[in-house]
Amino acid sequence: MMGLTVSPGAKALIFDLDGTLSDSLPVHLATWKKLGSSIGFVFDEQIVYEMTGMPTIAFARKIVEDNHLKIAPGELVKMKHKAFRESVHLIKPFNAVVAIVKEYHGKLPMSIGTGASRESAMLQLNQLGLTSFFNYIVTADDVTRHKPETETFLKCAELMGAAPPDCQVFEDGILGMKAARAAGMMVTDVRPYINYGTWTLS
């Protein structure tokens, strides 16, 4: 199988973060499970795969509802962010995708379009040493209609001064790919090119 490539027609590149540039899903899974153990719920891994691309508050609402917890979703989000901050040093880059970023830095405008909070996105980009490669970073805090809606990616295109059909989106999430297609952008599914890790926090 050939490696990841940039389309000859692409004039701007947009990258999802979690699961695309950052091998963060094992950390997210482990922190959710750790929280579940501490406050009394069993975390269903399936919702990560179904809801990847959505903001943490959406996960928190579902967990609270499904488990009949007596905690406000906003409080659960704060606990999750704290646990993630403590473990962010464990994340690794997906080198196949990062190679595209480094190859096209300075050649094409590039942005991040993520369902992560700005805090989480900056923590990860700093940890991976990638912050300076991107012209713009659009997070869950910057939009009101998250993936699978098109707002995240359309905002990236607007900031880069690129027409949506000229943008190539690199994504791992079903909701993100749906959003990119709905925005009329070129979509590259990175999943065949990367190896996902699986482990738990001690």
Structural domain including 104 reads: 12-24+93-193
In the predicted model, is pLDDT for residue 193 greater than 60?
A: yes
Say which of 16, 18, 142, 166 is annotated catalytic.
Answer: 16
In the predicted model, is pLDDT for residue 199 greater than 60?
A: no
Q: How far apart are CA 26 and CA 199, in angstroms?
A: 6
What is the percent of the chain where pLDDT is above 70? 96
Reported as a single tens digit per residue, the pLDDT across 149-191 is 999 999 999 999 999 999 999 999 999 999 999 999 999 999 9
* Same domain, residue pair 111 and 176: yes
CA–chain centroid gap for 75, Å, is 21
Does residue 197 contact residue 18 with C-beta atoms inside 8 Å?
no
Mean pLDDT along residues 32-45: 92
Q: How far apart are CA 172 and CA 52, in angstroms?
A: 9
Does residue 44 carry a catalytic annotation? Answer: no
What is the model's pLDDT at position 49? 77
* Same domain, residue pair 46 and 108: no
* Same domain, residue pair 63 and 119: no
What is the model's pLDDT at position 164? 98
Domain count, the chain: 2
Last residue of a domain, one of 33, 56, 89: 89
Reported as a single tens digit per residue, the pLDDT across 53-93 is 888 899 999 999 999 999 999 999 999 999 999 999 999 99
Mean pLDDT along residues 98-113: 98
What is the model's pLDDT at position 53? 80
Q: How far apart are CA 140 and CA 126, in angstroms?
A: 18
CA–chain centroid gap for 86, Å, is 18
* Same domain, residue pair 69 and 131: no
Last residue of a domain, one of 71, 89, 107: 89
Between β-strands 92-93 and 22-23, what pairing exists: parallel, antiparallel or unpaired?
A: antiparallel
* Same domain, residue pair 132 and 172: yes
Alpha-carbon Rg for the chain, nearest whole angstrom, is 17
The pTM of this model reads: 0.88
What is the model's pLDDT at position 1? 54
Q: How far apart are CA 46 and CA 53, in angstroms?
A: 14
Q: Does 33 reside within a domain?
A: yes
What does the mean pLDDT of the chain come to? 92
In the predicted model, is pLDDT for residue 200 greater than 80?
A: no
